[in-house]
Amino acid sequence: MLSGIVIDALDVPAMERFWRAATQGRTDGLRLRFAATREPKSGKNRLHLDLAGGPDWKREVDRLLALGARRADIDQGQVPWDVLADPEGNEFCVLRPGHPGVLSDAGLSAICLDTAQEDLSAQAEFWQAQTGWPHVEHHPWGVRLRPSQTSPLSLVMGPPVASSTGRNRLRLEITDRDRDRNPGEFVDPAGNEFHITHG
């Protein structure tokens, strides 16, 4: 089952504080785990988080900026959401009411994994098996998995795909409660690292 997200961090305590405040503790049971690294971020991440902005999304963006986020330009052009970066440069989005798939007014709304169009079927099948989350949407822009029809959280896969610049700075974490597999770091069909732990 999908149990968390691992985020590499130069300053682990500072990043923990930022993301705890940014999500307001609303992560739908997923653990955000921060792993110390000496490598600064370079290039666009291939996995990013979406936060629900709620009806007063402008105030929510201001709150996040006051926490230490900054506006980010990843060549997104004019889009109906706000692209920000955390204090170490990891991109995330703040979604507005009415955005497809948003079922909450605050907290973590989606985990977005870059996936090329030609890899979508393999990626969707792989991550459905890893998470136990069924497909709830399949569109030209990508695939959405959700643990239940009413869960506020989803896993979204689709293009565009950022170039690989080494190990992904954000990685999914799977808990194997049956201990059928050895713990460690693995890669999905598209070459994205993920972790397996024992619960």
Give the best-scoring range by mean pLDDT among 41-45, 53-57, 180-184. Answer: 53-57
Q: What is the pLDDT of residues 53-86, one digit of tens each?
A: 999 999 999 999 999 999 998 777 788 899 999 9
Q: Where are the beta strands (DSSP E) in the chain?
A: 2-9, 31-36, 47-52, 70-71, 81-85, 91-95, 108-114, 135-139, 142-145, 154-158, 170-176, 184-187, 193-198
> Positive or negative, the Cα torsion across 164, 165, 167, 172?
negative
Q: What is the pLDDT of residues 140-159, one digit of tens each?
A: 889 999 999 899 999 999 99
The CA distance from 144 to 159, in Å, is 13
- What the block records as the tokens of 84 is 């920000």
Query: Nearest-5° angle of CA 25, CA 27, CA 33?
Result: 85
Q: What is the pLDDT of residues 91-111, one digit of tens each?
A: 999 999 999 899 999 999 999
> Which residues lie closer than 8 Å to 143 by C-beta, 6 or more apart?
115, 120, 123, 124, 135, 137, 156, 157, 158
3-state SS assignment for residue 19:
helix
Read off the pLDDT band of 165 (50, 70, 90). Answer: confident
- What the block records as the tokens of 62 is 């201001």
Domains of the chain: 2-198 (3.10.180.10)
User: So what's the pLDDT on residue 33?
Assistant: 97
Query: Between residues 149 and 165, which one has the greater pLDDT?
Result: 149
Read off the pLDDT band of 166 (50, 70, 90). Answer: confident
Read off the pLDDT band of 179 (50, 70, 90). Answer: confident
**Is residue 21 exposed (0-12), middle (13-18) or buried (19+ Cβ within 10 Å)?**
middle
Q: What is the pLDDT of residues 21-33, one digit of tens each?
A: 999 999 999 999 9
User: So what's the pLDDT on residue 82?
Assistant: 95
Q: Residue 32, Cα to own-chain centre: how many angstroms?
A: 10
User: So what's the pLDDT on residue 89?
Assistant: 97
Is the Cβ–Cβ distance between 132 and 148 less than 8 Å? Answer: no
Average pLDDT of every residue of the chain: 94
Look at residues 25, 34, 32 and name the one whose alpha carbon lies nearest to residue 107.
25
Task: Please give the average per-residue pLDDT across 37-46, as a whole number.
Answer: 93
